[in-house]
Amino acid sequence: METYATALLYATPFFIGFVLFEVLYGHFVKKQMHNVMDTISSLSSGLTNVVKDSLGLGIIIVTYPFLLDFFALTEIKETWLVWIVAFFALDFAGYWNHRLSHSINFFWNQHVIHHSSEEFNLACALRQSISNLLGYFPLLLIPAALLGVPHKVITILAPIHLFAQFWYHTRHIGKMGWLEYIIITPSQHRVHHAINPEYIDKNLGQIFSFWDRMFGTFQEELPEVPPQYGVLKPAGTWNPILINFQHIWRLIKDAWRTNSYWDKLRIWFMPTGWRPEDVKEKYPIRIIQDVYNFKKYKPEASKDLKGYSIFQLLVNTILMLFMFYNYSEIGFSGLLLFGAYIFIGIYGYSTLMDKETYAVWIEVFRSIAGLALIFITDDWFGLNSYFSIGSYLVGLYFVITIFGGVYFAYFEKKDILSNLAP
């Protein structure tokens, strides 16, 4: 996990830098593809994902080294060939993992966050799951294990394969000629993220596009069918932690409410979106019918709230980067506590972005707990050894968070209402 945290320490600024470049490019060419609050929500989702993954939270059904020991029929020596075979094996497994996530109710929960944005941009690429707590991906690498691809090769290539899926989440690049027949391009991935009936569950490849052509899931972007983005059951919140568990919560409620014991069991393994008939009639859920005429989630937000939300995102990103930088010194129990501060912080300010009054209590609780930790330890997870007044700056941040939470939960709302009064 420490190696992964080190990789994220360098990768995170790289990704955020490209998101900012896309924002600036959109501004200068008068074709902005970003909504401030949506982008903050996407980047915040990315923070939760990398913190969760860096801590190794989840249950692994089986590891790749175990499969390698059990299934290997031969062994490819670590030459250029093994790297090529391993990359193709990873991409083949990625295609089927992706297809599984789009096909089965239970697995859709771990992927819905990535599709939840009603925009399509580089920030959307960073909407990654924290609900993928059941690690089964190595099972899809059995072909690699049969060929004896070394574990070290898979370990090195896996993050490269993941990071290589970032660039094509953009609307600023059109079709790419002959490359459309080889790799996943922005055009193909726009189709994948679209909720148009023509595009649903298409283009499931991750790096190479020929898997989709081979297995019947390819769809070209059609000029007469402009992609519309999001999910058919809209998230209706900027809170990435809530979005991660919305679908599983609906499944739990449906399984509880249905009168059929058979439906209680099979709902988890049925196609994505399937619901028992008795529950569907009694407890309807809003589903977008006309993809060209639906209201995007965009509650009114003042410039002050947008600025405050950006401030919270930046501070939590800096805190996370320090956590990665000081990973081994903090220790696992300290990392869990540090990660909790980041998670609760993201939950708090994204709930404030939703204009939920109860957000203030989350912000106040976290800030008081943070100030108490600084008072007790006279430090912030070893920050003072790098920067003598580091813990004082973190303490100041918590004080600002208390006042910000109170202001945006109560006073700004009152100011808006008084301005609207006749």
User: Closest by alpha carbon to 372, among 387, 389, 391, 358?
Assistant: 391
> What's the domain range around 339?
303-420
Q: What angle do CA 60, 61, 66 make, to 5 degrees?
A: 95
Q: Is residue 288 part of a domain?
A: no
**Residue 291 CA from chain centroid, whole number:** 23
* One domain, residues 153 and 278: no
What is d(CA 156, CA 150) in angstroms, rounded to the nearest whole number?
10
**CA-based angle 171:176:181, to the nearest 5?**
120
Same domain, 354 and 209: no
Give pLDDT, residue 420: 42
Angstrom distance (rounded) from CA 322 to CA 360: 26
User: Nearest to residue 201, comparing CAs of 88, 297, 89, 108?
Assistant: 108
Write down the pTM of the prediction.
0.93
Q: Which two tokens stand for residue 300?
A: 């009114």
Do residues 198 and 247 both lie within one domain? no
Measure the CA–CA gap between 238 and 351, rounded to whole angstroms.
7
Q: Do residues 201 and 56 both lie within one domain?
A: yes
At 18, list the tokens: 């490209």
Full DSSP string of 49-70: HHHHHHTT-SEES--HHHHHHH
Note whether residue 141 is domain-resident. yes
How many domains is the chain built from? Answer: 3
Look at residue 292 and tell me if it is in a domain. Answer: no
**What's at 192, amino acid-wise?**
H
Distances (CA, A) of 234 to 40, 58, 101, 124, 275: 18, 27, 18, 15, 17
Residues 85 and 181 both lie in one domain: yes
pLDDT at 74: 78
* 291 within domain boundaries: no
Per-residue pLDDT 10s for the chain (422 aa) are 556 667 777 788 899 999 999 999 999 999 999 999 999 999 999 999 999 988 888 888 889 999 998 888 877 777 888 999 999 999 999 999 999 999 999 999 999 999 999 999 999 999 999 998 888 999 999 999 999 999 999 999 999 999 999 999 999 999 999 999 999 999 999 999 999 999 999 999 999 999 999 999 999 999 999 999 999 999 999 999 999 999 999 999 999 999 999 999 999 999 999 999 999 999 999 999 999 999 999 999 999 999 999 999 999 999 999 999 999 899 989 999 999 999 999 999 999 999 999 999 999 999 999 999 999 999 999 999 999 999 999 999 999 999 999 999 988 865 544 444 44
Q: What is the 3-state secondary structure (H, E, C) of 255-317?
A: HHHCCCHHHHHHCCCCECCCCCHHHHHHCCCCCCCCCCCCCCCCCCCCHHHHHHHHHHHHHHH
Beta bridge partners of 271: 104
Q: How far apart are CA 182 and CA 118, in angstroms?
A: 28
Same domain, residue pair 66 and 188: yes
**Residue 296 within any structural domain of the chain:** no
Residues 258 and 311 in one domain: no
Spatial CA neighbour of 251 closest among 280, 275, 286: 275
The residue written with tokens 């939760």 in the block is 48
119 and 245 in one domain?
A: no
Closest CA to 411 of 308, 271, 275: 308
Statement to judge: residues 264 and 202 lie in one domain: no
CA–CA distances in Å: residue 213 to residues 79, 95, 191, 218? 30, 12, 14, 5
Per-residue pLDDT, 200: 97
One domain for residues 311 and 367: yes
Cα–Cα dist 149/146, whole Å: 8
CB 239 within 8 A of CB 350: yes
Query: Has residue 234 been placed in a domain?
Result: no
Residue 290 is assigned to a structural domain of this protein: no
Residue 298 lies in a domain: no
Three-class SS state of 363: helix
Q: 16: which 2 tokens?
A: 């955020």
Q: What pLDDT, on a 0 to 100 scale, did the predictor assign at position 157?
A: 94
Q: Are residues 85 and 209 in the same domain?
A: yes
Query: Hey, is 368 helix, strand or coil?
Result: helix
Whether residues 310 and 275 fall in one domain: no
β-partners of residue 208 are: 183
Contact 41, 238 (CB under 8 A): yes
